[in-house]
Amino acid sequence: MSEETQEAQPEAEAPEREAAQPEPHGAGEERRGSGAGRSVPLGKYVRIDSNARMPQFDRPYARAYAASDSREPGMSAYALICTEEYPPRITALAPLSRLDKSNIVPPADWGTVDWAEGSGQGDTVRRYAVVFDQPAGQVLAADPHQAIEPVREDKLAERVIRPFVNVLHEFASRGLTHRAICANNVYTGESAAQGMVLGECVSTPAGLIQPVLYETIPSGQADAVGRGAGTTADDIYALGALLAVMIRGGDPMPEASTAEIIARKIEVGSYAAVLGRTRLSLKMMEPLRGMLLDDPDERWTLEDLDMWLNGRQLSPKQAYLPHKARRVFHFEGQEYLNPRTLAHGLAQTWRPAAKLAVSGELEQWVERSLDDETQASMVKQAGAGAQQSAQGASGEDRALVRMLIALDPPAPIRLRSLAFRLDALPQTLALVYHNDTKRNAVADALVNKIPQRWLLSQKDALAQDPRTAQQFDRMAQYIGQQQIGFGLERCLYEYNPGWPCISPMVRGQFVTGIDQLLPALERRAATGPAEGTPIDRHIVAYLATRMEPPPDAIIDALGKAKDELTRRRAIIHLLARVQKRHGPRTLPALTAWIGEYARPIADALYNRKLRARAEKNLNRAIESGSLVDVLTAVDDVESKRRDLEGFAAAQQEYAALVREIDWLQDGGLSSDENVGRVTRSAATAISALLSGLVLMFLTLVMLL
């Protein structure tokens, strides 16, 4: 990255060469640690002594503390306390725990613990602890750039290559990679006669803390957050670099910057860059050349290394070097002689390079200077497309991205200040989520189908697999859906299994499983202000990807809710389902919060008696601590039906009353018209009656 872009990166998201070292532990933090010292339980058997720091086992984003396991009293163990910003590789913990301990430090136990960050009780946060058995021997190099005592070539095969290749076989059989093979993560072992021990690799996201020397050119070109788990080929390359460091007695380029190391590797090839003029025996040169080949298809595999360890001679492979151009390309005071270094240079000076990408100069240079017709054609196509679509800064950015892909297809995707390998895109999104600029870069890449373009430019068969592209189509589709439960958050959780929920509502709670979500919200409700909506986009997306079966219908209803009450009802449904399936049985503080959140639903019933009954049931549910009871109290279908039907009938009756009152007020009875009409009838009737009576009387008189 350029100086400018490096400056723009927040400290926490640029753990490159410098950040690969453990951060200095502040005195204040040490004091807090000792002040709040206590034995922290992890599960039933493991206890972590927060007073007993073990800095020799510290990792860049995880501090080490002494730990003990009551099942194995004599065992020396340590625990790494991981951060939420750079969480451990949770999905790798269980598969790696079953590894043979002789040449690797596998995780022994893990889980979330209550960790005192300050001196007060209120400063306790949830952290993720991973416990390891202490490895035998000393760490090879406390600092990745530190000089070490060279290891004799004849010792390397049995002490390093054979045990580490076996370890990598174990990783590969589990579909995992180590991605932390470097001198400061290797232990010397019990004795000089025995194999060395590879350190842990799970305390941070894969590839994040690996020094760039141990990274392949494309991986080194990516930001640390954008390297990802990679493949076994990346581990083999790192092993090759480690062997070179052991042979040379330390980092061959201790003072060089990341950009310089990458430029050197591109220029002369990784083997020459790492080993320099070091003279090697032919026997050792063979695997080192194979492991440090820059073409991943040509690089030695674990099987090649097995054959070499078993004594088979394999022909040394020549390093792949990019073709030199016939003419030099001048840009920003630099001279470039091949497309790969040019692409690397352009990516370091983004804004001027973006203008260049739409100028047509690159196509001219490629056409006139490159012998590789295929690549020249790709660049011309990219240039033609770029000039058509380039409008404004974002158009220029897209044009440059396409041009960089055409100039250097295996390189990571580079977009403005962010560079990431394609397979690391989901992890990159998770790591840069709180950085608006970089998060937008990831979203832009997906929306503009840059991953698909990158895949089309690759030669290997895996990249041509349509299923690979489908993943990115799906992610772009999620980003296009703005309703809650989708968007970038959905991409984050769906494609990063095991990533903790990074919702601000559960910050500091290290929610790594769905069963931990409600307890985390309970703690928040108990300690913080419990008001407002009890979920956010992160929580809904997290539930959408972690719940089985997925609560699609509820999330759909939540997204489409047109009124606030429907939205509240859907949220309570969702949380109640989580409690029903994953517990815990009682959540007093959260239920009080949700109960108040649900009160408008009960208040919305029209009928006073039904409303009073719902509120009574709601209060009872709040006391019970059950979200399911809260849901039942406020979302009784029968009551709601009766309420609506009764209300409709009451409205009709009321309207009839209004009409009758209006009629009476308008003189319906007492009007002159009505009185006249009634008078006519009544007078006639009275007259007839009286006449009849008189006639009867006269008749009687006459008869008598």
Instruction: By CB under 8 A, name the one of 686, 700, 703, 704 that touches other proteins.
Output: 686
In this structure, which amino acid lies at residue 238?
Answer: A
Residue 702 binding other proteins, by CB under 8 A: yes
Residue with Cβ nearer other proteins (41 or 676): 676
Instruction: By CB under 8 A, name the one of 682, 700, 703, 704 that touches other proteins.
Output: 682
Residue 327 binding other proteins, by CB under 8 A: no
- DSSP at 554: H
The DSSP annotation for 626-637 comes to -HHHHHHHH--H
Instruction: By CB under 8 A, name the one of 101, 609, 620, 641 that touches other proteins.
Output: 609
In whole angstroms, how close is the CB of 675 to other proteins at the nearest point?
A: 5
Residue 684 binding other proteins, by CB under 8 A: yes
- What residues have CB less than 8 Å from 349, skipping those under 6 apart? 2, 4, 331, 332
In whole angstroms, how close is the CB of 429 to other proteins at the nearest point?
A: 44
Residue with Cβ nearer other proteins (377 or 651): 651
3-state class of 72 per DSSP? strand
3-state class of 80 per DSSP? strand
Residue 586 binding other proteins, by CB under 8 A: no
Residue 691 binding other proteins, by CB under 8 A: yes
In whole angstroms, how close is the CB of 701 to other proteins at the nearest point?
A: 10
Q: Which of 57, 39, 59, 56 is nearest to 48 (CA)?
A: 39
One symbol per residue from 353 to 372: x for binding other proteins (CB under 8 A), - otherwise; what is it? --------------------
Residue with Cβ nearer other proteins (7 or 660): 660
Instruction: By CB under 8 A, name the one of 392, 670, 673, 700 that touches other proteins.
Output: 670
Residue with Cβ nearer other proteins (138 or 671): 671
- What residues have CB less than 8 Å from 510, skipping those under 6 apart? 84, 87, 112, 125, 126, 127, 128, 500, 516
Paired tokens of 407: 């100039």
Q: DSSP H helical segments within 370-511, as ranges?
A: 373-389, 392-407, 425-431, 436-447, 450-456, 461-464, 466-480, 487-494
Instruction: By CB under 8 A, name the one of 505, 664, 673, 704 that touches other proteins.
Output: 664
Rounded-to-integer distance, Cα 405 and Cα 450, Å: 9
In whole angstroms, how close is the CB of 688 to other proteins at the nearest point?
A: 6
The DSSP annotation for 561-576 comes to --SHHHHHHHHHHHHH
**Counting Cβ atoms within 10 Å, is residue 134 exposed (0-12), middle (13-18) or buried (19+)?**
middle
Rounded-to-integer distance, Cα 68 and Cα 76, Å: 7
Report the length, in residues, of the chain: 704
In whole angstroms, how close is the CB of 605 to other proteins at the nearest point?
A: 9
Residue 661 binding other proteins, by CB under 8 A: yes
Task: For 128, list phi and psi in degrees, rounded to 5.
Answer: -100, 125
**Total number of residues that touch other proteins (CB under 8 A):** 40
The DSSP annotation for 292-332 comes to T-SSTTTS--HHHHHHHHTT---PPPPPP-PPPPSS-EEET
Residue 690 binding other proteins, by CB under 8 A: yes
Part in contact with other proteins (CB under 8 A); list of ranges 75-83, 378-386, 399-407, 668-676: 668-676
* HEC letters along 653-698: HHHHHHHHHHHHHCCCCCCHHHHHHHHHHHHHHHHHHHHHHHHHHH
| Residue 156, number of CB atoms within 10 A of its CB | 20
Residue with Cβ nearer other proteins (567 or 611): 611
Residue with Cβ nearer other proteins (462 or 656): 656
Instruction: By CB under 8 A, name the one of 339, 675, 703, 704 that touches other proteins.
Output: 675
Rounded-to-integer distance, Cα 691 and Cα 196, Å: 134
| Residue 331, number of CB atoms within 10 A of its CB | 18
Residue 651 binding other proteins, by CB under 8 A: yes
Q: Which of 220, 24, 628, 193 is nearest to 228 (CA)?
A: 220
**Counting Cβ atoms within 10 Å, is residue 449 exposed (0-12), middle (13-18) or buried (19+)?**
middle
Residue with Cβ nearer other proteins (548 or 673): 673
322 touches 338 (CB < 8 A): yes
Residue 676 binding other proteins, by CB under 8 A: yes
Instruction: By CB under 8 A, name the one of 332, 480, 586, 606 that touches other proteins.
Output: 606
In whole angstroms, how close is the CB of 654 to other proteins at the nearest point?
A: 5
Residue 608 binding other proteins, by CB under 8 A: yes
In whole angstroms, how close is the CB of 567 to other proteins at the nearest point?
A: 20
Part in contact with other proteins (CB under 8 A); list of ranges 85-93, 320-328, 409-417, 605-613: 605-613
Paired tokens of 17: 């060469």
In whole angstroms, how close is the CB of 646 to other proteins at the nearest point?
A: 7
3-state class of 528 per DSSP? coil
Provide the greatest CA pair distance for the chain: 163
Residue 644 binding other proteins, by CB under 8 A: no
Q: How many CA atoms lie within 13 A of 390 on its CB side?
A: 22
Instruction: By CB under 8 A, name the one of 669, 700, 703, 704 that touches other proteins.
Output: 669
Part in contact with other proteins (CB under 8 A); list of ranges 330-338, 380-388, 441-449, 661-669: 661-669
Residue 612 binding other proteins, by CB under 8 A: no
Part in contact with other proteins (CB under 8 A); list of ranges 94-102, 154-162, 354-362, 601-609: 601-609
Residue 600 binding other proteins, by CB under 8 A: no
* Dihedral over Cα of 16, 18, 22, 28: its sign: negative
In whole angstroms, how close is the CB of 561 to other proteins at the nearest point?
A: 21
Residue with Cβ nearer other proteins (174 or 647): 647
Part in contact with other proteins (CB under 8 A); list of ranges 130-138, 153-161, 516-524, 642-650: 642-650
Part in contact with other proteins (CB under 8 A); list of ranges 17-25, 412-420, 624-632, 651-659: 651-659
Query: Contact positions toward other proteins, by CB under 8 A?
Result: 606-609, 646-647, 650-651, 653-655, 657-658, 660-661, 664-665, 668-670, 672, 674-676, 678-684, 686-688, 690-691, 694-695, 698, 702
